[in-house]
Amino acid sequence: MTQPLAFAHIGDLHITNAKERNFLDFLSIVAQIESECAPMLDFVVLPGDNADNGTPAQYRLIATALKMLSPQVHLIAGDHDMEQGSLDAFYTGLGGERLPKATTVRGVRCLFIDVNGSGRGGPDFRLGADQIQWLEKELKAADEYNETAALFMHTYPADLKGEGEAEELNRLLGTYNVALVDMGHTHYNELANDGRTIFAATRSTGQIEEGPAGYSFITIDQGVVSWRFKALDDAFPFVVITSPADHRLMRGLGQTLKRECEVRAMVFGARSIKNVACRSDGEWVAMMRADNSNVWVARLLVSEEPLINLTVRAIDESGRPGVHTKQRHGTTLLPLALVIAATALRSVHGPKTVYTAPSSDPIATAGLYSNPISLFNFLESNVTSSPHLAHRRDRHGGRHSAAV
């Protein structure tokens, strides 16, 4: 049984001093992750803007808090980490590895890049030619070893200021099997999906502009990306359905639902789990813990309705329940074409996926697959909310926010 990649993302810290609320929240988050989740996590990510002014004193506070964590911590620099004119204090104060760097965890090649060091500070986000070459080399190697890739950076690719860099990065994302781009910077929980890659950002810890403080759990399970935000005061056990994909996070034809599907979930929390069960519209079906893993599994018959709810419920030894519900497209869903449509739209930045549409497909009937702009307009006018197009909308000035 393949174990999913699982990590926690703690949003931009913006640490200033030990008396501020964001530092106290950071201490609470770190303590909670260590006491409740550490054995189940492959690593923890800090996505940048760690120190609000990039000073050694601020990094000392962060480093002190991170000593509580036993999982590996991957550190990325943000524009606030450049406020002193370089990233020297960031690397010296936190002892992180120099970026870019790559590591493969559970079959996922995790690539951590720096979009600040080549710039002049502030929002002057740049990769530089050497880092772009390094990134393509790593993505080619991931393909050769049949690995999924995940990219970790401070901000959206569209924010890159270097000449042609955004286009080049989008070309790489369109060419290789990159399941996830994980980011900070926005201060919001944001999810975007172009039908091939999931773009995820987690709410800032230090400059909260929505909701309570917390962190996100992210998993990649055989190519399926799952994301769920946990507020600090949310109770455990905390369930994350790792497969199948939520309908908003589908990555192409390979993730469509069959009549009988395998449901997989991870249950975070320190207490022993008494039982785990799943259901769609019928009775609860018991889930079994896979050998030598943290994954609970069951086979489940699902209905042929256009949109179904899939729920996993876990009960720990104290009797406390934890529940996660995803929405899934049913087995006869016509908007399956939307997934392919989004992939076709990506052809502007990468190769087009060849798709033979059934005669019942209205998009094919309208002859829109060969015309990305008309296809985009068609979907915008015929679909109330299509997150498969969300990142495309982002490039045209808007962003799609969601909580899965």
pLDDT of residue 253: 57
Nearest to 40 by CA among 225, 269, 262: 269
CA separation, residue 77 to residues 62, 113, 118, 250, 385 (Å): 13, 9, 12, 30, 33
Q: What is the DSSP letter of 98?
A: P
CA end-to-end span of the chain: 25
> Of 3.40.50.300, 2.40.170.20, 3.40.50.2000, 2.60.40.10, which CATH number belongs to 247-328?
2.60.40.10
pLDDT of residue 404: 53
Domain residue ranges in the chain: 5-236, 247-328, 336-395
The share of the chain scoring above pLDDT 70, in percent, equals: 79
CA separation, residue 388 to residues 199, 249, 330, 344 (Å): 11, 7, 17, 11
Is residue 18 pLDDT above 50, yes or no? Answer: yes
* Confidence class for position 259, pLDDT limits 50, 70, 90: confident
pLDDT of residue 355: 31
**CA 76 – CA 78 distance, rounded (Å):** 7
Averaged confidence pLDDT in the chain: 83
Is residue 276 pLDDT above 60, yes or no? Answer: yes
H-assigned helices in 56-120: 56-66, 88-94
Q: Which residues of 202-224 are buried (b: 16+ CB within 10 A; e: fewer)?
A: bbbbbebeeeebbbbbbbbbbbb
Is residue 341 pLDDT above 60, yes or no? Answer: no
* pLDDT tens, position by position, 282-333: 899 999 999 878 999 999 988 777 678 899 999 999 999 999 999 876 654 4
pLDDT of residue 396: 25
* Confidence class for position 81, pLDDT limits 50, 70, 90: very high
CA separation, residue 222 to residues 1, 29, 122, 244, 388 (Å): 11, 28, 37, 10, 20
**CA 315 – CA 79 distance, rounded (Å):** 43
Give whichever of 81-95, 204-218, 242-256 has the largest mean pLDDT: 81-95
* Confidence class for position 156, pLDDT limits 50, 70, 90: very high
Topology of domain 5-236 in CATH is Purple Acid Phosphatase; chain A, domain 2 (3.60.21)
- Minimum mean pLDDT among 166-170, 250-254, 309-313, 356-360: which range? 356-360
